[in-house]
A and B are shown apart, each in its own frame.
Chain A
């Protein structure tokens, strides 16, 4: 059974139709890279998966539960879907360590001691133990994003959603973050990654989903997607621009 599935979701802002009916599934352990031109609806699609945006119509089914059903406990379901943002969205009023501890204590009801132990474990995984007691304002973009990933992973999510996680980073630190993500993928994490990093899509993803004009124009394994034999003109024109 698919871990996460969308059925015919659409999203409109007045007359502006951003998503025009998207069917999508992801199996446990899969890594899907979502690529496509700006304004094509990639981010809106990703944000519909955990209902940061409410689809205008359609269904989102996660772990067998319909997120749009009337009495669904959205907070509980969201706690099992980690999200990483382009702008990191660390909480500036707490240290790196507290950022990772807060959701564990507030949502998973872990004791302070347990939350701290787990947070330190994850900070070590992302090579950030030396900055644990620093406020986000003294961290670089790459460091912030690694902590944001640790914060999401700390919740033991079943799936992680990445919304252009490296787009706001200086080029020289992009790889620090991509390495952490590749590590997660290797550990078997299910991931949906909206990205412009074609190298990551090619090397790490199991599937590449190409979204353009509010629809999925292609859903292929990377070797097929990036191969010369892929003659879809929209994809060719996009790849020519980014590669």
Chain B
């Protein structure tokens, strides 16, 4: 890692410069641009409060980890990790939201220190991360609609649609043990249960505690058959962080001996032996309460979304201007850079670029905070389109304009600034408006790198309320208003500038 890092030092420097440019120098500095430092120093920093223990979790898995109406992360794992960290002498703990499938990669990429998200200890995972002692004996259970009398055992799943969460143990287990089941892979925990309730799948195979919690909260489903597996949850750590792991193990033992662990368990799971079944709860189609109860987090998410849009928009304009002028350069190598930029960035999916920047670059020693990675990816992607807009607009200005300016003795820089760019800018406005509407909508995708913007806040609300309809309608409306404001602003500026047309 070390020697690799020095080789790619220039790239890290560029990234740091960009971060400074974004006015995010502080978080970027925290997001360590160096690879994993020796663990001993890390533990001392955690204990002194100099650094914060970053715990990756997918807070869409009640009762292990989810969020309350204020957006605060709560649940069994949250309580236990807080208690264990305190017992280990670690001062500051921060829970970082991320999709479950990203937790292990995030540990490998040194984005987080601990994974605490009801993670099964599997040999595959143990190859790339280390696990604590078992803290919760879990296992897979099978759940179907209360009205379903045909699925009673694993064998009955043959030819049936079975909902599973992407990246979870259920996927591989079903492939091995019931290959005739048709897997419906969904992104979040609540989508699994919803797909059965909505008839999109016949059954859910997931961790038994989560299934029981859903039935307890929402009803409409029942558990069938025996527990499918006997598997165990552990907290995941980076391979290099053996002393953090040891400290957690010691603290866990202490918690179990003192009875604190049983208390936490009872608080979240209640009586484990109660029968898990119940009728679907009645509720109206739209629940304004789903929105109003979570108004604070939603507005916070909106604030983050606006910040992301504003900064990536500025970056997009910058990249677009640089790219556009590069493509118009008289120098072949510079033109070539512009061409490659547009062809590569426009020719690959945004989500691939985002994941490359956030999960791929750390392998080269370039570690970016989620915000920097998200804004950089959005700016870079949108900038490739703006490049073509800038190039096209400048080329569309009559050649005589440049000749008139030059023949008065104006330098080409002056001519560009006073004559060409003002005219080109007016022509850019309509396509720029379109592009920034696209950018606004694409900003929802940065939720994938754990940024709690509007869309991710919505998803976490759904994981608690199971009210996808109301929440998605509301969030859709917010984006609709945002994109229309951008459209209207572009029109207004164009109208104001177009006095000479």
Contacts and interface: CB of A to CB of B under 8 A. Distances in A.
A48 B426 CA distance: 32
A232 interface: no
Given A91-B419, A92-B500, A135-B500, A52 B410 contact: no
Interface residues of A, number: 31
A79 interface: yes
Interface stretch (B19-27, B96-104, B397-405): B397-405
Interface centre among B404, B418, B501 (most CB of A within 10 A): B404
Given A93-B423, A137-B500, A78 B409 contact: yes
B500 A155 contact: no
B270 interface: no
A221 B205 CA distance: 102
A75 B400 contact: no
A102 B418 contact: yes
Given A93-B422, A93-B423, A107 B408 contact: yes
B500 A85 contact: no
Contacts of A102: 410, 418-419
Interface in A68-103: 75-83, 85, 87, 89-94, 102-103
B250 interface: no
Name the residue in A75, A79, A81 with the highest tally of chain B Cβ atoms < 10 Å from its Cβ.
A75
Contacts of B331: none
B411 interface: yes
Interface string A151-189: 110010000010000000000000000000000000000
B409 A79 contact: yes
Contacts of B408: 78-79, 82-83, 103, 107, 151-152, 155
Contact of A107 (B404, B410, B499): B410
A89 B423 contact: no
B406 interface: yes
Given A78-B408, A103-B409, A135-B500, A92 B423 contact: yes
A52 B403 CA distance: 7
B409 A85 contact: no
Contacts of B410: 75, 102-103, 106-107
Contacts, number: 75
Contacts of B418: 91, 102, 106
A83 B407 contact: yes
A52 B406 CA distance: 8
B107 to A, nearest CB: 56
A75 B407 contact: no
B401 A89 contact: yes
A64 B407 CA distance: 19
A152 B411 CA distance: 16
Interface in B472-501: 499-501
Contacts of B409: 75-80, 103, 107, 155
Contacts of B414: 106-107
Interface in B392-439: 398, 400-401, 403-411, 414, 418-419, 422-423, 426
The secondary-structure label for the interface of chain B is helix
Interface residues of B, number: 21
Contacts of A91: 401, 404-405, 418-419, 423
Contacts of B405: 91, 103
A167 B418 CA distance: 28
Nearest to B422: A93
Interface in A39-69: 50, 52
Interface string B69-90: 0000000000000000000000
From A83, A93, A107, A136, residue with most partner B Cβ within 10 Å: A93
A72 to B, nearest CB: 13
B401 A137 contact: no
Nearest to B407: A83
Nearest to A136: B500
A106 B500 CA distance: 22
Contact of A135 (B400, B403, B423, B499): B499
Given A85-B400, A91-B401, A102-B418, A78 B407 contact: yes
With a 10 A CB-CB cut-off, give which of A102, A137, A152 has the most chain B CB atoms: A102
A60 B318 CA distance: 41
A135 B499 CA distance: 8
B404 A78 contact: no
A38 B423 CA distance: 32
A151 B418 CA distance: 15
Interface centre among B405, B423, B500, B501 (most CB of A within 10 A): B500
26 contacts: A75-B411, A77-B409, A78-B408, A80-B409, A82-B407, A83-B403, A85-B403, A87-B398, A87-B400, A90-B404, A91-B401, A91-B418, A93-B500, A102-B410, A103-B405, A103-B409, A103-B410, A106-B414, A107-B410, A135-B500, A136-B500, A137-B500, A137-B501, A148-B404, A155-B408, A161-B407
Given A89-B400, A94-B500, 19 more contacts: A78-B406, A80-B409, A83-B403, A83-B407, A87-B398, A89-B403, A91-B419, A92-B500, A93-B423, A93-B500, A102-B410, A103-B409, A106-B410, A106-B414, A107-B410, A135-B500, A148-B404, A152-B408, A161-B407
**Cβ-closest 8 pairs across A and B:** A79-B409, A89-B404, A103-B408, A83-B407, A89-B400, A135-B500, A107-B409, A78-B409
